[in-house]
Structure 1
Amino acid sequence: MRAHQLGDGPIQNDYRDKMNAVMATLDEFMNGDTKGADREVGIVVLMFPFGATDGRCNFISNGAQRQDIVTLFKEMIARFEGQPAMKGRA
């Protein structure tokens, strides 16, 4: 079995239950009982081992499409690096 890198695979088993619990709690806190496209707030949680120089970053969202998350990450990197904002939907 190939080892996954970064966020290209399923959530690692040792983080799965905790990440699902965190996301459910955040989603309910921010969006109440609203579900699906009716939600007002999109959420992405990243989880990684502190101090690790290898391994991967696990992520979970409350329903965002993968391509929208990619756009969000690109926009955030541009902001962190002081570049002009990129156009996207995230």
Structure 2
Amino acid sequence: MPFFNALFNKKKKIKDYYNKGAVIVDVRTETEFMQGAIPNTLNYPLQTLNQHINNIKKLNKPVITCCASGVRSGIASKLLKQKGVDCINGGGWLSLSKKLEF
């Protein structure tokens, strides 16, 4: 049961972030993003994320990162946390959209 508890807690934490007004940052490439995305999501590809950190900080909101599978968003989340951004890895954008009921 610990595995299912961890999944439930992660989903709850993501929803809590979103309910606090979190911004979703999709770190897939622009081409991937154009093939489908969560509404009102910012697209800052992982390769260019460092160039957008100040813009993200200016939003003064928590951030949920996402990508195709959760790998790049995990890297992005770690980077943003190191830069002082309140951030959580939302994983793949399709599963995140289901968690947030889009």
| TM-score interval for Structure 1 and Structure 2 normalised by the shorter chain | 0.3 to 0.5
Structure having the larger proportion of residues in strand: 2
Structure having the larger proportion of residues in helix: 2
TM-score of the superposed pair, with normalisation by structure 2: 0.30
TM-score of the superposed pair, with normalisation by structure 1: 0.32
